Structure 1
Amino acid sequence: MKNRRIPIALRFFVTVLMTTLVIITVSLGVLHWTMQRSFTKYVADVELQKLGHLNENLAGVYLAYHDWGNAIQAQILQIEGDAAPDDYDKLSQWWLRRQYDIALQQRYFYDHTFVEGEAPVINSSTALLDQQDLKVLKENLPSEYRPFEGLKFPLSANQNFYRTKFKDRPRTEEPEAVVNHEGKLNKRIIAMPDQLGLSSRLSLYDADKNFIVGERSEQELSFQPIWVDGKIVGYLGLKSVLGQDDALSINFFSNQKRYLLLVYILTFLASLTAALLLATYFKKPIQRLLNAARELTQGNYQHQVKINRNDELGDLSNEINQLAEILDQHERSRKQWVADTSHELKTPLAVLQAQIEAMQDGIRKATPEHLEAMMRQVMSLKKLTQDLAALAQADAQQLTCYLAPTDPWEVVVQEVDNFRLKFEKAQIDIEIEGAGAQLLLDRDRFKQVIVNLLSNSERYTESGGKVHLHTVQDQDSWTLYVDDSPYGLSDDQLTQLGQRFYRVDDSRTRATGGTGLGLALSIKIVQALGGTLAFEHSPLGGLRCKLSFKKNNDVQ
């Protein structure tokens, strides 16, 4: 059963969609956790900022009494009369709320009056209360140092003394004046509207955050320090107006589900659009690369893919183009190799066939001379096949070498002596000078290289010419130079030297029995032995062969 393919556009879409959804979900989860954890405290901190005037009043009270307990007790004792058994407890619990109410009235009065001469004048144009209400507020404006002014013990006797709001009387009614037994005007206790309900959530703590008065709470409070002379003397504590359930009720996940669904829909559409654009952006060059790979598999090595991009796809297209060029070169080399090999085999085989047919027809007899000519063709075929086999082994990195301590100069001198007769017959002068070194070499393989180099010099040096062999060595390397006189080589011929079946003078080489494989095989053998073989123009006007080995394998 054939596996179902997943298009690249779908892969991009799923990847972008899932990534975006994960990011959004995690972000909303963090928002959920943050709001649930921090929002109630944030609200309380904002509300504490509205208690600046109360904080200043409490600081002044502490400065006057130097202790919170003393301050509360002293201000309660300012009330005249005989207290009921529970009056002191009631006033202690009421003290902080009363200080808050006083600060609220003072702040409102100061914000809506201005000074004219020495007495404050009511600015009714900016006041929320009318002229009569502000007049009542002015006459009954309390002091934080006398929060219970006008009260008498027992507290039950003051029921007609409280005014919880200004609007509890007819508009035409004038405020009542309360006169004490000394003939002085008593102030009424007037409670300002507490729209935020702060007074019921306030508590007072000392400098060590020990509870003093106010509303106890088990939930986390927000604190505002009270400073006196640069020192914290207490804290105002405020319980948040929002409970855990209230925080959840305003949470993003609880009351904005429609918006959350809309976010997911928009995310889906955005991911789809981005995926299509990305898929289109990447799919076209990928399709071109796929077509290029198909062309290469079909043998069209001249195909080139054009992708003008400065990214990995552009790099991949360049690599594929280079691969196509290399494969094309290898294919042409292979075809040339087959053509050259068949050509080299065809010549001696044709000669042998002609000689054998002549003997079969009785035209030529099997004389020693004729048999020797046939043997030369057989030896030529044998050398060609041996060279081809050695090159094949070298290409497959299977060329066998038996390394042993060897003096390369000794091998060179020996082979020069073996070739001396040939050089004399060709009227070529040969000179040698140098020194040896102990290297790890395969003696037979090294000898094969020297034989090829000497044969090449003998074959391509004109009569009356010269061949010079000398060595140069240092602590790191041993180098043999083989220089000969013209025939010389052009720069183009020099670059092609060492290629298989390449001959500088094809007719001359055939006359001397060359196959065009000697230098190519020598290069492979030298590489297998860990050395290098290079070709340059010789100072003598012909060819210079530079054979070099490093002494890292030097045997002492």
Structure 2
Amino acid sequence: MIIALFSLLMFQTTENRFSNYIGDRYEAEKASLVEAVESAYQSDNQWDTDILSSLTQNSMHAMHSSGMLMRVIDEAGNEIYSQSNEMEDHMHMMSEEMMGVREGWTEERVDIYSQGEVIGSAVLSYPGFQGYTVEEAEFIDDLTMLIITMGIFSIIVACIIAYLISRRLSDPIAKTSLKTQKIAQGQIEGAALTDSEEIRELYQLEQSVSALAAQLAEQKRIRNQMISDLAHEVRTPLTTLQGNIEAMIDGVWEATPERLNSLNRQVIRLTHLIKMIDQLEDVEESNNELTLERFDIKEFLSMTLLAFEALAEEKNIRLELEAEFGIIEADRNKLEQVMTNLLSNAIKFTSKGGRISVLSLQTSDEQIITVKDNGEGIPENKQKYIFERFYQVEPSRNSELQGQGLGLAVVKEIINAHHGTITVDSQEGKGTTFKIFLPK
């Protein structure tokens, strides 16, 4: 559209400028003829016949340039000079042929002066339409054809380039869109994009979709593993309960207090599992229902570590605390739940004779709590999943419900509820460090 508009404007501009040129040319011819007639006047109504004759001899040339005829009349109305009727008829015919004149001729009377006094007038006759000569008409036709040809050629080239660019942009987007549709339909496996895209934004889009597909695939694997683990953990106590109760109903076993206590422990295991699941849901639902209070972080950490001294002594693990007095505002109960989960995991995965350090550092705008152990560590490729619900680095079928991959998910939710962050840095065989950043 821009090319077409530009071509039209260029054609209109050329046409207008050429029309102005033709008008200026006619005005110049008029002035030239009148000036020639004035130079032929001598005095006392005497005219130089040689000059007037030269006008007649040059009339054909003048006609070719302007198509203009002239008669000279003195002040008394007498005709002093006129082109012959033959010349006029011949010029009329050639004007029709050369300039395409189809209208009647126009006469214009121009006064002739000599020394500031009117000595007569020149009657100029020219076509009513001041047309182009053959050369001018051919030039305009060639220019018009050039503009139209270049316009059409430019439009075709622009359409081809636009099509190629749009295909270059739309093909990767269409491919990515197809992948996202497959992901939405649950076809996660094989949804990662493998093509190397050179356009940076499209490359980032493809990488994001690939990362999304990988994360969803991992989530699906975690969910399937969680279902398998939960099914196993629930099946074991239920099978035990069913077998023992059926044996008591059939009279094979006597309902002694010891057997009832054993059955009760299985019920407790099921209750504990359900409680852990509900605990995570409760935390997610109460993110904005924190009970904030101000307390000393050093005293809080000291009391928390004190509760784990017995467990640490059983494995000969040394507990260390490095903290200074500092007041923070947080939900103490939920923060205690965070520290309990982190410390219990640290004791669980630290070998006998190990060490667990808790450090507290307060800056101008945040409280940093660090829990560091020299235990087993977490594989690097597993670290980004440890805060997912039900995820376990090494799932154990014989865990006796010591953990179902819910603890760190609860920790993450509580820290988020405080508008804080938690990070993990771990190396296999060297230990793990958790850092909590809380706004003061």
State the TM bucket, normalised to the shorter chain.
Answer: 0.5 to 0.7
Which position in structure 2 is the counterpart of 1:414? Answer: 303
Tell me which of 186, 190, 204 is aligned to 1:299. Answer: 186
SS at match of 2:324: coil
CA drift of 1:356 comes to 3.3
Give yes or no for the alignment of 1:43 onto 2:33.
no
Q: Normalising by structure 2, report the TM-score.
A: 0.63
1:194-215 residue CA offsets vs partner (Å, 9 max, x unmatched): 44458979xxxxxxxxxxxx94
Question: Cα RMSD over matched residues?
Answer: 5.1
Residues 426 and 331 (structure 1), Cα distance of their counterparts in 2 relative to 1, 3 Å cut: closer
SS at match of 2:399: helix
The answer as to whether partners of 2:22 and 2:130 remain within 8 angstroms in 1 is no
Give yes or no for the alignment of 1:27 onto 2:13.
no
Number of aligned residue pairs: 374
Which position in structure 1 is the counterpart of 2:276? Answer: 387
The answer as to whether partners of 1:441 and 1:529 remain within 8 angstroms in 2 is yes
Give yes or no for the alignment of 1:528 onto 2:409.
no
Which position in structure 1 is the counterpart of 2:44? Answer: 153
Residues 401 and 349 (structure 1), Cα distance of their counterparts in 2 relative to 1, 3 Å cut: farther
1:156-194 residue CA offsets vs partner (Å, 9 max, x unmatched): xx69x557447xxxxxxxxxxxxxxxxxxxxxx997544
Give yes or no for the alignment of 1:330 onto 2:246.
no
The answer as to whether partners of 1:428 and 1:466 remain within 8 angstroms in 2 is yes
Tell me which of 392, 396, 405 is aligned to 1:502. Answer: 392
SS at match of 1:510: coil
Which position in structure 2 is the counterpart of 1:350? Answer: 239
SS at match of 2:308: helix
1:39-76 residue CA offsets vs partner (Å, 9 max, x unmatched): 23323556789999x8xxxxxxxxxxxxxxxxxxxxxx
Which position in structure 1 is the counterpart of 2:267? Answer: 378
1:239-293 residue CA offsets vs partner (Å, 9 max, x unmatched): 9x8877748x9999x989x969x87996899499849965876776566456545
Residues 505 and 412 (structure 1), Cα distance of their counterparts in 2 relative to 1, 3 Å cut: farther
Q: Alignment identity in percent?
A: 22
The answer as to whether partners of 1:427 and 1:465 remain within 8 angstroms in 2 is yes
* One-letter amino acid of the counterpart of residue 186, structure 2: G
CA drift of 1:462 comes to 4.2
CA drift of 1:383 comes to 3.0
SS at match of 1:153: coil
CA drift of 1:436 comes to 4.4
CA drift of 1:445 comes to 1.4
Residues 494 and 344 (structure 1), Cα distance of their counterparts in 2 relative to 1, 3 Å cut: same
Aligned pairs (5 A) from 1:205-224: 215=110
- The structure number with the bigger radius of gyration is 1
Residues 39 and 516 (structure 1), Cα distance of their counterparts in 2 relative to 1, 3 Å cut: closer
Give yes or no for the alignment of 1:489 onto 2:377.
yes
The answer as to whether partners of 2:23 and 2:130 remain within 8 angstroms in 1 is no
Aligned pairs (5 A) from 1:119-518: 148=41, 151=42, 153-155=44-46, 161=49, 164-165=52-53, 192-193=58-59, 194-195=62-63, 196=65, 215=110, 246=131, 270=156, 274=160, 278=164, 288-289=175-176, 291-301=178-188, 302-305=190-193, 310-311=198-199, 316-362=205-251, 364-392=253-281, 399=287, 401-407=289-295, 408-424=297-313, 427-484=316-373, 487-489=375-377, 491-492=379-380, 495=383, 497-499=386-388, 500-502=390-392, 506=396, 510-511=399-400, 513-518=402-407
Q: C-alpha separation between the residues in 2 aligned to 1:309 and 1:243? A: 68
Which position in structure 1 is the counterpart of 2:87? Answer: none
Q: Normalising by structure 1, report the TM-score.
A: 0.52
Residues 433 and 340 (structure 1), Cα distance of their counterparts in 2 relative to 1, 3 Å cut: same
The answer as to whether partners of 2:237 and 2:269 remain within 8 angstroms in 1 is yes
SS at match of 2:187: coil
1:467-505 residue CA offsets vs partner (Å, 9 max, x unmatched): 4433222223322233445x4326448736545341558
1:99-126 residue CA offsets vs partner (Å, 9 max, x unmatched): 6xx6xxxxxxxxxxxxxxxxxxxxxxxx
Q: C-alpha separation between the residues in 1 aligned to 2:351 and 2:43? A: 144
Q: C-alpha separation between the residues in 2 aligned to 1:245 and 1:393? A: 94
